[in-house]
Amino acid sequence: MDGSNSSYIQDKCGIFAIADDKDVYYKTINGLKFLQHRGQESAGISYTKGNIMHTYKSLGLVETVFNDFSDEFNIGIGHVRYSTRKKTTNSIKHMETQPISGNSRFGKFSLAHNGNIPLINKIKEKYDINYDTESDTIILVKIIEKLSHKYVTWLDVLIDLIHGIEGVYCLVILLGNEIYAIRDAHGVRPLCLGKRENGGYCIASESRALQEYHLIRDVKPGEILCIREDLTMESLYQRKLIKNSFCSFEYIYFMKPDSITHGNTKGGIFKNKLVENIRYQLGYELGKQEAHVDRTAIVLSVPNTPIPAAKGFARAVDLEYYDYIEKRKDAGRTFILPTDKERIDAVEKKYIFHPELKNHNVYIIDDSIVRGITFKSIIKKLKNIGVRKIHIRITSPPVISECYYGIDIPTKRELIAHEKSVLDIRKELSVTTLKYMDIKSIKKVFNENICTSCFDGKYNQDLLSW
C-alpha cells in the first residue's frame, strides 16, 4: 500500500497530563498505572519544576520504573508505551521511550504520543526532515523544532502541525508551565478531559485514569486544548471537523471496561456509556443471531475483556454463564507482546481452568481472534480437561487486514483469518462450531462513524493518501 511505511513503529500507548496543586506526582504515577494495559514496554514522565523541565523514563512497568523515584511538581505529562517493533535492542527501545524532549525557540518541550502516522516518509519530505529513526514520535518532535523557527507564536506551530500531518495521533506537549493536548481531526484514538472540584485539570487516554477528576468531555477531534499550572483551561483552536472514524477495536478490546466513552456522534448511543455496557450489547446481539442453541452447553469467556459480552450472550440465549476460566492476577496482555515466542510462553501461564469443566459442552465468547495463539492453547487445555463440545463465538468480524493506525494487527500472513473461510478457521482450531459477528451487525450496534479497516480492508484514504 502506497505510503503505509510499515517499517515505522506504531505506538499503541497511554498518555496522561495533569496540572494541579496537590499530590500531582502521586496522581501522575497512579494515572499511568490505570493506563498500564495500553503499554507494558516502558514508562516515563516529564514535568516542570522551578522553570526547569525534568524527564524520568525507563523500560519496564510503571511500578518498576518509578520504584526508586519520586518528586513534587504541579504540572507534567506521562506515557506508557507498547510498540509494534518486533525485535530491537534495549538501547534503541530506551531512546524511543516517551516522553521525548525537543528544543524550540519558545523553550524546551516534551511530547507524548498515542497513535501512528502512516505517511511518515512523505511527511519527512514535506517538512524537509533528515533524521534517521524508525519512530514517528521522534519525527513529530523534529517537525515541531523546525516549525518553531517559522512562526511568531507557539499556537501557530501547533496549528500547522494539526493541518499538515494526516495521521492518527493524540498528543500531550509540555512547554514551560503549560500543557497542550491535541487530537487528530479523525478522532481515531480516545482522549478525554477531567476537572477536580475546586482544583486542576487532567487529560488521559481513558477516563478510568482521571481518578478523582470529574470527566468533562472528550478532547474533540481536531482540537488544540491547553491546561496551565495556574489551574486554568482553554480550548485554543478547533480544526474544521471532517468525518470522524473512531477505532472499533478500542471499544471491542483495547479500552478497559470501566472507562466511559462519549462517542463521536452528538447524541450517539454511546454517549456517557461504560465500555463494559457496549461489550455487553455486542454479546447480546451476537446471541440473538444464534439460530440453533446448544441447550446442553454453558457460557464461558476468555477473561477479562469479553466477560461483559459473554454475559450478554448468555442472557440472549438463556444459558448460564460461569467464570470457569480465570486469568492469573499477575498476567499481562499477550496481544501486546512483541514476539510469537513471548506470546506463546505467556499464554501457557496466563489462565487457570476450573475442574468442573470436565464433560461439559461450552460456548466460549471472545472479542477477536487475531493470530489464534491464545485460542489454540485454551482449546488444547479444555480438551485435556475433558470438555466435549467447544462452540466459539466472536463479537467482531474476522480480522483480515493490517492496521495502519496504531493497533498491532500483524501482517496478513500472520492473521489466522487471512485467505481462510470461517470453516477453514474452525478446522484449524479444531472446535465444534465457530461464528463471528458480521460487519453489518457490528455497524448496527455501534451506530457511529467507526473504523473497521482491520475487518474489511477498507482504509480511510484521507489518512493514507494526499
Q: Across residues 284-301, what is the average pLDDT? A: 96
Q: pLDDT confidence of 349, banded at 50, 70, 90?
A: confident
Query: What percentage of residues in the chain have a pLDDT greater than 90?
Result: 62
pLDDT at 337 over 60: no
Q: Is the peptide bond before 99 cis (omega within 30 degrees of 0)?
A: yes
Catalytic residues: 13
| Backbone φ/ψ region at 465: left (φ over 0), alpha (ψ -120 to 50), beta | beta
CATH topology of domain 276-447: Rossmann fold (3.40.50)
pLDDT of residue 4: 35
User: What distance in Å separates the CA atoms of residue 248 and residue 110, rounded to the nearest whole number?
Assistant: 30
Mind giving me the DSSP string for 420-453? --HHHHHHHHT-SEEEE--HHHHHHHH-S-EE-H
Name the helix (H) or strand (E) containing 141: helix 136-147
Q: Across residues 446-459, what is the average pLDDT? A: 81
Helix crossing, 275-288 with 307-317: angle to 10°? Answer: 40
pLDDT at 11 over 60: no
Name the helix (H) or strand (E) containing 309: helix 307-317
Of 457 and 131, the structure prediction assigns the larger pLDDT to 131
User: What distance in Å separates the CA atoms of residue 40 and residue 332, rounded to the nearest whole number?
Assistant: 8
Task: Kindly provide the residue ranges of all beta strands, DSSP E only, lying in 3-123, ordered along the sequence.
Answer: 14-19, 42-49, 52-59, 75-81, 100-104, 107-116
The C-alpha cell 494526499 sits at 466
Q: pLDDT confidence of 344, banded at 50, 70, 90?
A: low
pLDDT at 425 over 80: yes
Condensed to tens digits (0 to 9), the pLDDT of residues 171-226 reads 999 999 999 999 998 888 999 999 999 899 999 999 999 999 999 999 999 999 99
Condensed to tens digits (0 to 9), the pLDDT of residues 387-401 reads 999 999 999 999 888
Query: 0.85 exceeded by the pTM?
Result: yes
pLDDT at 81 over 70: yes
β pairing state of 192-195 and 178-183:
unpaired
Q: Which long-range contacts (CB under 8 A, 24 or more apart) does 330-337 make?
A: 332/37, 332/40, 333/37, 333/40, 334/373, 334/374, 335/253, 335/370, 335/408, 336/12, 336/39, 336/40, 336/82, 336/408
Query: What are the structural domain ranges in the chain?
Result: 14-242, 276-447
Which CATH number fits the domain 14-242, given the four candidates 3.30.460.10, 1.10.40.50, 3.60.20.10, 1.25.40.20? Answer: 3.60.20.10
Q: pLDDT confidence of 9, banded at 50, 70, 90?
A: very low
Which range is least confidently modeled, 193-202, 231-240, 334-343? 334-343
Mind giving me the DSSP string for 396-409? S----S--SSSS--
Condensed to tens digits (0 to 9), the pLDDT of residues 237-275 reads 999 876 678 888 888 888 998 998 765 444 444 566 789
pLDDT at 299 over 80: yes
